[in-house]
Structure 1
Amino acid sequence: MLYHVEILSFGANLDAKIMDAISILNAVQKDFEFALAPERLRSFAYTFVREEYRSTEIWSRLEEYRADAKAPRPYVIAVVDQKLRSDRYRNLFGSHQAARGLAAITLRDWHFYADSHRSFLCYYFIRYALSFVAPSIKAHLETRDCFFDFKGHRRDLEKSLSSGRICEQHTEELNAALNPETKESVKKMISIMKAQHAKSNETLPAESLREATRIGIIAIRPDEFRAVLDHFPTRRRAEGKNQYYEHARIRPRDGDEIGVAITKSPEQGQIAAQATANNMIRELAPRWILLVGIAGGIPDAEYSLGDVVLSSRLHDFSVTAAFEGGTLAHQQQGGPAHIEVEKLLSHLSAMEKDFDKWNLVQSLGMERPIETVPGAPDERYYGDAEWKASVHKSIKANFAGDAAHRLPHYVVAPTIASNTLVKDTALARQWGQSARHASAVEMELGGIYAAARHDGGGTTRVLAIRGLSDIVGYKRSPEWTAFACKTAASLAHSLIAAGLIN
């Protein structure tokens, strides 16, 4: 690493916005290292509060910071959120003393001239880093569509953000100051800055979104994936080492903007799901991973087809022993959800007003299918007499009379996972003896749990949100698959939009 640039928030904690830009620039090159000040030193700048900042005051404060920090800090940038002025100019985006390795930037009014704070800060971090490296570079007072235009006309900033162009004069000056590797790093930083523009179609490197990604969503089937994407129409593609992501930004109710990364497992089963989650954790480090899609249901009068199960505990029966004569024994693994998941699910019924529209037709894009209920189990029911009776009771409770027109709802319950697509009522009964309160049966949650425990260091929260497309012991109509995909996706999006998963 050739150049270390330290950045401080002045007058307020702007660290989250700064880290968004830092992570983007650091992800694509190794010659410039942008970093926040050490946590123990940040209060030095937080407490320097002004209604208007003079550059001369900031230079003095930054020199004091260098002295107090007691370690070499050749390049330091202050970021403020109030008006910035110098002795000569009254309203600046930024100012610098390149020979001293000092610069200042204001986030005030950035939204009038850039489509995100990320592109705005990336631009100024790059610009001042280059000025530190080549202090002789002077800004053009006239507009040349150059990175180093003075920006006396504030709209000139938009040109620099979209073009990233450096004029011939300044290119020659930089060429004299930079080695070939550092020049390549500059190109990469400018390219990733331009890619932050909302109208850019360029695929982003996944690592550049690491600090911006709070939530990851994994779908398994193509129909599950499409149902989730329908709720995040504005998004960007990102490329990781082994998989692509669709990255969306959403502003939850009464909260700051967060990033959501959506990807699809290459196939069904625990191994593929674990690999997908491993990749996501290593590249994006989301705090939460949501497994969103469909599952089979254990028959119960409280829920049925199209309803959504939020998993509070995992019963994993993937480890099986086979004995002579065809007898199988299953070792139960798994465990409770992360404590933060338990906290959310335990109190969720008291928060329903925050996401009460998730099950409306307008949110789902599809009406709940109709099931006819015979007086007794017919050819659609399978299993022994006791199981058929249990399934019939469940279907009747959820589709007969007024229930035929009810909205889908959610239940919080344990989930059974294995590498087996369960249609066998005898197997479901056997597992149910050990997992008495389980409501859903699926094939991937165990893999996600394992990834979160090992690659996530135990800090990654995992929540399965599964729409019930089947009831074990019942031959349902095909349209329930699409409906269950939509109910799971709608509930997941609504919980995020309400700010409950954060």
Structure 2
Amino acid sequence: MNNPWHSVTLRVVGLDGQPVPFDFLRIKTSSQHSERGTVLSDLGESTYTEQNAGIYKFQYQLKNPSASVWAAIERGKRQSMQLIRPGLHEYYFRFEERSGEGRQAPLDEPVPREQADGIASYRYDSDTGVPSADIGIITMKIEEFRAVLKRFVSDDRAIDGQNLRYNFRKFADNDGNELTVAIVRSRQGDVNALYTAMELIREVRPRLVVLVGIAGGRPAGEFTLGDVVVASKMINLTVDAANPDGSRGYATSASELHPDVEKVVLNLEGDAGRYGDWNSVTSIRMERPAVSLAKRNFKGPRDWQAKTREALAKYFGKNGQNRLPIVIDGPIASGSTLMKDPKVFQEWLDIARDIIAVDMEIVGVFEACRKGKYLLPTLVVRGISDIIGFSRDDKWTEYACETAAAFTKSLLISGTIPILRSPRSENLS
């Protein structure tokens, strides 16, 4: 493979975890010259900006495959240089005086924490052979995949990675900025989602990963079938145990959002005017399916059936509200099996009472995007295709896929996501 793509993402913070201001963050290569000794060449450069939340990303190609790659953080006349290696790593850094010539690479010696000015964590991916994209979108079911592809149409072709095939599409946001998205389909389940997300991150090097599809919702008056939920938090319930008395126990954990994503998710209502008519019939491209509230369609304990009937009657009963879909935010829980049993879901609610939807993949995507100190912005957009404990028309699967895809496109073109507003670095050397 000739002249493959390389990628470095760095997160630069102080010992307190807050971003550290600097003048320049440079990615350099070093190689040996017969007369000049070790020679350093700049590949990419970024200045400090508050919007980056301490995270900086560079993509480039190396003409010399044997060259070493270094990260140089500069402030004033002082700098820190570190040899970086493929994979996920972190190191303590200290600003020191630069050499006069600036040609000789420093010794790769560790800095003790007590002498450090901060912590740099990085992900270095090399030899992917796949072009980069601003956004990576992961779907599972064929209906999810089809709905997303319909929203991103261009002349770009599918490109094969080592193990996955990516559908590259170009589009412009509302400010006229051109963005590239790579759309990929994964098999269902948390492990498959983890694998797909890790491959996507390694090969495509996106600035944002988006999981788009459907989920089951709890019976509630504030949302219903066909509405869209954007995850404000991921609750991991994939690790469970069968107790002797027949009950189940869970080892739970939760993952918060990247700051650039959190500010968007928590302000969905405030930015509603920037998302346009994503929920119109024209945008969704199909009418809302019917709902039968016949007794045979309700499952589970009596109190759960009553709660579910009351919640659905608000929208689909004789005097129900016939409105367009809405978008809300809330915690989404993830398990290893498809959630259909209200009794099991009640156990989940006993552990985390604020859960509003469940799926099987969000935990895998979050885990892939949050390895060690490395933090990649992650969005999860789910259309509500089921209310747990209720048997609905099969057309709700397709409808919920369409609402999720329609909102995702409107969100990505809105210009509200900070990480997509700054130009990405595409440096060649």
The normalised TM-score by structure 2 is 0.68
**Cα displacement (A) at 1:233:** 1.2
Is 1:209 the counterpart of 2:131? The answer is yes
Counterpart of 1:414 in structure 2: which amino acid?
Answer: P
Compared CA separation, residues 253 and 207, structure 1 to 2 (3 A): farther
How many angstroms does 1:436 deviate by?
1.2
Secondary structure in structure 1 of the residue aligned to 2:270: helix
Partner of 2:222: 302
Q: Tell me by how many angstroms 1:24 deviates.
A: 7.1
Post-superposition shift, 1:323? 2.6
SS in 2 for 1:347: coil
SS of 1:306's equivalent? coil
* SS of corresponding position for 1:368: coil
Q: Deviations over 1:257-308 (max 9, x none)?
A: 121111111x211111001011111112212111100111111011111111
| Amino acid in the other structure paired with 1:481 | T
Out of 391, 401, 419, the position equivalent to 1:485 is: 401
Counterparts of 2:149 and 2:64, CA distance in 1: 34
1:381 aligns with 2:304: no
**How many Å apart are 1:7 and its aligned residue?**
8.0
Distance 1:341 1:5, change over 3 A: closer
Structure 1 distance, partners of 2:43, 2:303, is 68
Asked whether the 8 Å contact 2:292–2:392 carries over to 1, the reply is: no
Match of residue 359, structure 1, among 248, 271, 279: 279
Distance of aligned partners of 1:338 and 1:40 in 2 relative to their CA distance in 1, 3 Å threshold: closer
Letter of the 1:233 counterpart:
V
1:399 is displaced (CA, Å) by 1.9
User: 1:334·1:446 contact (CA, 8 Å) conserved in 2?
Assistant: no
TM-fit CA distance, 1:339: 2.4
The Cα of 1:351 is off from its aligned counterpart by: 0.8
How far is 1:370 from its partner? 2.2
Percent identical across equivalent pairs?
33
Deviations 1:87-106 (A, max 9, x none): xxxxxxxxxxxxxxxxxxxx
Q: 1:498 aligns with which of 398, 414, 423?
A: 414
Map 1:313-352; keep pairs closer than 5 Å: 313-352=233-272
Question: Contact (CA 8 Å) 2:255, 2:366: kept in 1 or not?
Answer: no
Alpha carbons of 1:272 and 1:31: their partners in 2 closer, same or farther (altered >3 Å)? Answer: closer
Do structure 1's residue 269 and structure 2's residue 186 form an aligned pair?
no
Judged with a 3 Å threshold, the aligned counterparts in structure 2 of structure 1 residues 325 and 289 are, in CA distance, closer, same or farther, namely: same
Checking the alignment, whether the CA contact within 8 Å between 2:268 and 2:328 is kept in structure 1 is: no
Partners of 1:253 and 1:482 in 2: CA distance: 27
1:169 is aligned to none
C-alpha distance in structure 2 between counterparts of 1:296 and 1:30, whole Å: 51
Q: Find the aligned partners of 2:320 and 2:277 in 1 and give their Cα distance.
A: 19
SS at match of 2:347: helix
Q: Could you tell me whether the CA contact under 8 Å between 2:128 and 2:202 is conserved in 1?
A: no
Pairwise mapping of residues 425-436 of structure 1 onto structure 2 (< 5 A)?
A: 425-436=342-353
1:237 to 158, 176, 180: 158
2:378 maps to 462
Confirm whether residue 252 of structure 1 aligns to residue 169 of structure 2. Answer: no
Contact 1:314–1:415 (CA under 8 A) maintained in structure 2: yes
Higher relative contact order (CA 8 A, sep 6+): 2
> What amino acid is aligned across from residue 297 of structure 2 in structure 1?
R
Question: Alignment partner of 1:379: what SS?
Answer: helix
The structural deviation recorded for 1:327 is: 2.9
User: C-alpha distance in 1, partners of 2:401/2:233?
Assistant: 21
Question: Residue 327 of structure 2 is aligned with which of 395, 410, 430?
Answer: 410
Select between 227-236 and 336-345 the one with higher mean Cα deviation: 336-345
Q: Once the 2 structures are TM-superposed, how far is the Cα of residue 387 of structure 1 from its aligned partner?
A: 0.5
Q: For residues 384 and 362 of structure 1, do their structure 2 counterparts lie closer, same or farther at Cα, with a shift above 3 Å needed? A: same
Residue 492 of structure 1 and its aligned partner are, at CA, apart by 0.7
Please give the alpha-carbon distance, in whole angstroms, between the structure 1 residues aligned to 2:291 and 2:360.
26
User: Any idea what SS the aligned residue of 1:438 has?
Assistant: coil
Q: Deviations over 1:380-417 (max 9, x none)?
A: 11111110111111111122357553111111110110
Residues in 2 aligned to 1:493 and 1:69: alpha-carbon distance in whole angstroms: 50
The Cα shift of 1:242 comes to: 1.3
SS of the equivalent of 1:392 reads: helix
SS of the residue corresponding to residue 482 of structure 1 reads helix
Partners of 1:305 and 1:69 in 2: how far apart?
A: 66
Letter of the 1:488 partner, please give it.
Answer: A
Specify which of 133, 138, 142 is matched with residue 218 of structure 1. 138
Query: What displacement does 1:347 show?
Result: 1.4
Letter in 2 for 1:247: F
Separation in 2, partners of 1:32, 1:233: 39
- In the alignment of these two chains, the number of paired residues is 323
2:43·2:60 contact (CA, 8 Å) conserved in 1? no
What is the identity, as a one-letter code, of the residue corresponding to 1:209? P
Distance 2:332 2:43 in 1: 46
Deviation, structure 1 residue 325: 4.8
- Could you tell me whether the CA contact under 8 Å between 1:268 and 1:444 is conserved in 2? yes
1:400 aligns with 2:322: no
1:442 paired with 2:359, answer: yes
> In structure 2, the residue corresponding to 1:318 is in which secondary structure?
coil
SS in 2 for 1:272: helix
Instruction: Check conservation: 1:223, 1:485, Cα contact below 8 A.
Output: yes
Aligned CA-pair RMSD: 3.0
Residue 307 of structure 2 is matched in structure 1 by: 390
How far apart are the structure 2 equivalents of 1:461 and 1:445?
13
> Greater helix percent: which structure?
1
Moved over 4 A (4+): 1-9, 22-26, 29-33, 38-41, 68-72, 401-404
Return closer, same or farther for 1:496/1:402 CA change in 2, 3 Å cut-off.
Answer: farther
Q: Which whole-Å CA distance do the structure 2 matches of 1:69 and 1:259 have between them?
A: 40
Equivalent residue number for residue 340 of structure 2: 423
1:253, CA displacement in angstroms? Answer: 1.3
* Cα 1:8/1:390, change in 2 over 3 Å: closer
* Maintained 8 Å contact 1:24/1:208: no
Query: Helix, strand or coil: the match of 2:169?
Result: strand
TM-score (norm: length of structure 1): 0.59
The residue number in structure 2 matching 1:166 is none
- Contact 2:134-2:206 at 8 Å conserved across structures: yes
Q: CA deviation at 1:5?
A: 8.2
